[in-house]
């Protein structure tokens, strides 16, 4: 193996090691939430932004075929998703749609618009064979289908603040 190859391998290993170390710092928050059974001062936004960042870099690594990017960001995305799930489990303000079994707080028109926009951009990217257009729009399609499932599972109740007119 030539000197450049060894240096590249060492640098790749260091990137993976240090980045996984950084991602694992959330394990202390995870431990705290599980022991305390509440979120206390644990912040949600860093988990979410890091997860989005990991998924973006994972997509890029996949497109590029770079296994260093793929491995480290797949592990990072799994850890961040785990942190998010535990946070949501112990957060006192749970998802209102599931808690109330009502989709009144969701916008059906926004769901349809998001699905159509994301699907059309994905198809456009597919037609151009441009993964940089396709991949970022896939989450919009996925989340739209999840919201449509919620509308199916928890249909919006009719407005009951009116009385029927007697004829």
pLDDT digits (tens, 9 = 90+) for 21-50: 888 888 888 999 999 999 877 778 788 888
Q: Is 79 exposed, middle or buried (0-12, 13-18, 19+ CB in 10 A)?
A: buried
SS3 164: coil
What pLDDT digit, counting tens, does each position of 59-86 carry?
A: 888 988 888 889 888 999 999 999 999 9
In the chain, where the domains are located: 1-94, 95-167
Handedness of CA 128, 133, 139, 143 (dihedral sign): negative
Q: Is the pLDDT of residue 160 over 50?
A: no
User: Which residue, 78, 90, 99, is CA-closest to 41?
Assistant: 90
Rounded Cα gap, residues 23 and 101, in angstroms:
34
CATH code for the structural domain at 95-167: 1.20.1280
What pLDDT digit, counting tens, does each position of 111-151 carry?
A: 888 788 778 878 887 888 878 778 877 887 888 898 899 88
Q: Is 167 exposed, middle or buried (0-12, 13-18, 19+ CB in 10 A)?
A: exposed
Instruction: Please tell me if the domain spanning 1-94 has the same topology as the one spanning 95-167.
Output: yes
What is the DSSP-derived secondary structure letter of residue 41?
T
Q: Is the pLDDT of residue 96 over 60?
A: yes
Handedness of CA 77, 80, 82, 84 (dihedral sign): negative
pLDDT attached to residue 105:
67
Rounded Cα gap, residues 118 and 137, in angstroms:
5
Q: Which alpha helices (DSSP H) does 25-107 contain, by range?
A: 26-36, 45-64, 67-90, 96-100
**Which residues, 6 or more positions from 133, have their beta carbon under 8 angstroms from its beta carbon?**
121, 122, 124, 125
CATH code for the structural domain at 1-94: 1.20.1280.290
Q: If you search the block for the tokens 């396709």, which residue do you land on?
A: 134
């Amino acid at each position: 193996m030539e000197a450049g190859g060894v240096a590249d391998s060492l640098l790749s290993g260091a990137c993976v090691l240090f980045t996984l170390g950084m991602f694992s710092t959330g394990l202390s928050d995870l431990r705290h939430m599980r022991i305390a059974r509440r979120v206390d001062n644990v912040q949600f936004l860093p988990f979410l932004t890091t997860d989005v960042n990991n998924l973006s870099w994972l997509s890029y690594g996949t497109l590029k075929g770079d296994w260093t990017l793929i491995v480290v960001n797949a592990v990072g995305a799994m850890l961040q998703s785990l942190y998010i799930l535990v946070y949501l489990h112990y957060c006192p303000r749970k998802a209102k749609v599931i808690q109330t079994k009502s989709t009144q707080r969701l916008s059906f028109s926004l769901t349809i618009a998001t699905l159509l926009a994301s699907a059309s951009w994905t198809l456009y990217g597919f037609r151009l064979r441009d993964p940089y257009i396709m991949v970022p729009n896939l989450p919009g399609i996925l989340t739209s289908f999840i919201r449509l499932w919620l509308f199916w599972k928890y249909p919006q109740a009719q407005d009951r603040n009116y009385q029927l007119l007697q004829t």
